[in-house]
Every structure is written in structure tokens, then in C-alpha cells.
Amino acid sequence: MSAEDLKEYLATAVALAKEVGPAFKDGFWRTGQFSKVSDFAAEDKLGNKADCVTAVDRYIEKTIFDRLRQIYPTHKLVGEESTAESGNGCQVTDDPTWIVDPVDGTNNFVHHFPYTGISIGLAINKEPVVGVIYLPILDELYTASRGAGAFLNGEPLPLIRPPALTSPTALSQCALVSEHGSYRSQKTMSLRLRSLARLLTDKQDGGGCLQNLRITGGACPDLTLVAKGSAELYWECGPHVWDFAAGVVIVTESGGAVFDGAGWWGSDIPESERIPKPLNMWNRKIVAVRYIPDLPDKPGSGRELQKKLAKELLDLVDDFEYPPDGTQ
């Protein structure tokens, strides 16, 4: 995998995102081929009334996959609609694997909330190396490939840079983006809400006293906020690999960091072993931290602060049990 290979793969992903952009806009505004309600056909996904799928999801995924099969016939394909609806998961290999969410934030899409878009990622050797997130309604195109940086409409990320970008040293200086998820069992929602409550509670009462909590309705826009520097942290348990594969590349190439998102609250793991672990993108638990500049005269302190903030968060949230997206 050379730099030229990655450049080619990124160009392909960008071209595909732009190709399906008009169909995405037609679906969002119910114009063109999606002007008739019967053609749009929003429906519950696998019987889950808190989740939905539309004709646009299926059309965009099929269009992207058809193109990828023509261009790279030996590459593997993982898509939200084809993989989720089959219920079979996927076999994870070292082969180049395209990971696509045709409409991330489908509930936002259905309700005309503009934080919704197209996510195209590429993993090689089980690691994400190319990411494109296109938010057509906001006219925001995020692009990144390993070792080549991350960009928003051609401008390098993060958009906010030192000295305007500060070095947060505690959760109380951070804005967190997270989601309530589409799994609505009492057990899952109780764990999630208790975790968020701890993060928001005053420090004197044992919480993290987060400065701000935001829920945009989609992992892709959440991760773009971290990459831009508009949010310090993203944490979620339960999203799928297609929700954040592309976003992981964009965050890390913007100077951010990603970690495993399994919480330690109530755990008997010794304090000495509570070190944020590397992300396994197939395990559906993630913490992302924005780029943090070094403190004056302290090289490497920005990276240490990223780990510190991730640890503080994980100390206050529960672990969640979700089946992995793929078998390895």
C-alpha cells in the first residue's frame, strides 16, 4: 500500500460521494426521483421502530457498490443496508474492504435535519486508511487518507488552530458529542443515561462536570465536529463500523486520537491498568478526542492530554455488551 495507492483510493471515494450527492439531496427534499412518498418508503429497520431505512439508503449503497465492483473487483464490501439487513455480519480479513453508510443519520434525513450524510471508508489489514464524509445539505466534504492529513472542502483540519485552540486539561473544559442510540431496551437506556448523568454531574458529587453535551443524531457529523475542533470528545457504544470507519481516519489525520470506548465504571480493573486501549473498529465502542496542542515547553503533552481526557471519560461510563460487526 503506497502513498499513490491511497491517493487513488481517496480520489475514488470522493468521486463516488459526489456522484450520489444529487440523489441524496433529492431524497432529503423529496424532489426528483424521490418526489413521491411511495417511492421514498421510510420503514422500520428489522422491526426496530427507533431506526429506519429509506429507498435513498438502498439506492445510494447499490450505486456505490456497483461502481466499486467495476473498479476494484477483488475488494471486499461492507455496507449498512446489505450487511445489517442480511443479519449475517461480515468476515473481517486483511483484504481492502470498503465500508459504506449511504445515509448516516437516517432519522435526521427523514425529519429534514441537515446533520446527515454519506460515509465511505476503506480498511486495509483491518485498519481504516481512507475516509470521506460528505454532508450534502451543509455542503461539507471531509476527506482524509493515512499520512496525508484531513481536509474540509480542501482546507486542512482542524479549522481552529493554536493559539485560538486551547489545551483542555479536564472534562469540565470539554464539549462531548454522543448519541442515545436506537437500542431502546430498559437496560440499555438506563446504562446510557446513567453514564451521561455522571459525565454531566458536578465534580464535588463524583461526576465529570462536562461543560457541554451535544446530540446531533449521527456518528458522522459527531466525528466531523471533533475533527474540526468544535467538540473535544465523541463517545458512543453501539454504533456500527460503517457509522465511524471513515470518521476515524478524518479525526486521526486531523491530529486527533481514537480509543476503545468500553467503560470502567463499577469495574474491578486496577487503577494502574486503566489505560485507554487502541480502537478496534469492529467492536462498536469508541472514544475520539480532538487535536490538542502541546502545553508551552512540554513536547508530547497534547497526546498525553488526549489520553487523560479519554481516561477521565471511561472512568465514569458503564460498559455495554454489543455483538461485534465482524468475525476475525
Query: Are the CB atoms for 288 and 223 separated by under 8 Å?
Result: yes
List the binding residues for Mg(2+). Answer: 80, 101, 104, 243
Query: Are the CB atoms for 102 and 61 separated by under 8 Å?
Result: yes
Pick the closest to residue 288 from 313, 267, 266, 269 (CA basis): 313
Mean pLDDT of all residues belonging to the chain:
90
- Specify the amino acid at residue 94: D
Contacts of 95 (CB under 8 A, 6+ apart): 74, 75, 76, 124
Query: What is the pLDDT confidence band of residue 147, given thresholds at 50, 70 and 90?
Result: very high
Residue for cell digits 457509522?
243
Whether residue 163 is preceded by a cis peptide bond, meaning omega within 30 degrees of 0, is: yes
CA distance 259 to 196: 18
Residue 40 scores a pLDDT above 80: no
Other beta carbons within 10 Å of 242: 26
Q: Give the 3-state secondary structure of residue 150.
A: strand
What would the pLDDT profile of 280-309 be if each residue is shown by its tens digit?
999 999 999 999 999 888 999 999 999 999
Helices (H), 181-286: 186-200, 219-228, 241-253
Residue for cell digits 486527533?
256
CA distance 149 to 252: 8
List the binding residues. Answer: 80, 101, 104, 243
For residue 155, what are the CA distances in angstroms to 158, 180, 192, 230, 238? Answer: 9, 31, 36, 15, 31
Query: What is the pLDDT confidence band of residue 239, given thresholds at 50, 70 and 90?
Result: very high
Domains and CATH numbers, the chain: 3-156 (3.30.540.10), 171-327 (3.40.190.80)
Contacts of 314 (CB under 8 A, 6+ apart): 259, 261, 262, 263, 264, 274, 276, 287
Residue 50 scores a pLDDT above 60: no
pTM above 0.95, yes or no: no
What would the pLDDT profile of 248-271 be if each residue is shown by its tens digit?
999 999 999 999 999 999 999 999
Other beta carbons within 10 Å of 43: 9
